[in-house]
Structure 1
Amino acid sequence: MAKLIVIYEKPHDEEGFNTYYQSEHIPLVQKMQGLKGASIHKVVQSMNTDLHLYLIAELEFDSVESIAQALGSPEGQAVQSDVQNLMKYLNKPPIISITE
């Protein structure tokens, strides 16, 4: 199993971010091919960092290769393009990691 982990720092407009993320961004993510599961975690406390972490999304796939295929698909490209819409609520782009 491999995961695509997206970490968001605290947005300057929490209400706008939460509304857009739930109503627009998540439905796009759910269309990604090969997605086996997803979970979203609101960060309540962070230690050993100066970052103001806000939200962590974990997207599960069968393999790193299936993540690459999903990101390269039209659905994956739509998700990546939609990050620009989220940026009006954020101070900087999310941190993205791929794990296996």
Structure 2
Amino acid sequence: MAKIIILYEQPKDKEGFEKHYFDVHVPLGKKIPHIKSESIQRVIQSQNTSLNLYLMTELGFENMDTLHQALASPEGRAAEDDGKNLMEYLYHPPIIMIVE
């Protein structure tokens, strides 16, 4: 299984971030094809980092090929483009990891 994991640090505007993330960004993300699993978790505590982590999103795909196809799809590009709109509410861009 291949996954994309996105880590968000504490937002500068928590209310604005929550509204945009859950009302706009998540619905766009749910349209991305080939998703096998998805989860969003609030970070309660983290160790061995100076980052003030807030939220973790994980999308699972069957394999790396389907992950790349999903991200290249119109729906994947729409979600990626909307990610830029979240920057209004964040101090730092999210950390994005692709793992296998």
**TM-score with structure 2 setting the length:** 0.97
Q: Deviations over 1:15-63 (max 9, x none)?
A: 1101111000000000001011210010011111000000000001001
Report the count of equivalent residues.
Answer: 100
Q: CA deviation at 1:83?
A: 0.9
1:1-100 to 2 correspondences below 5 Å: 1-100=1-100
Amino acid at match of 2:12: H
Question: Secondary structure in 2 aligned to 1:11?
Answer: coil
CA distance in 2, matches of 1:26, 1:93: 17
Question: Structure 1: where are the runs of 5+ without partners?
Answer: none
Q: Distance in 1 between matches of 2:57 and 2:38?
A: 7
Q: Under a length normalisation based on structure 1, what TM-score does the superposition of the two structures give? A: 0.97
Give percent identity, aligned residues only. 51
Tell me, in whole angstroms, the C-alpha distance in 1 between the residues paired with 2:58 and 2:48: 21
**Structure 2 gaps, min length 5:** none
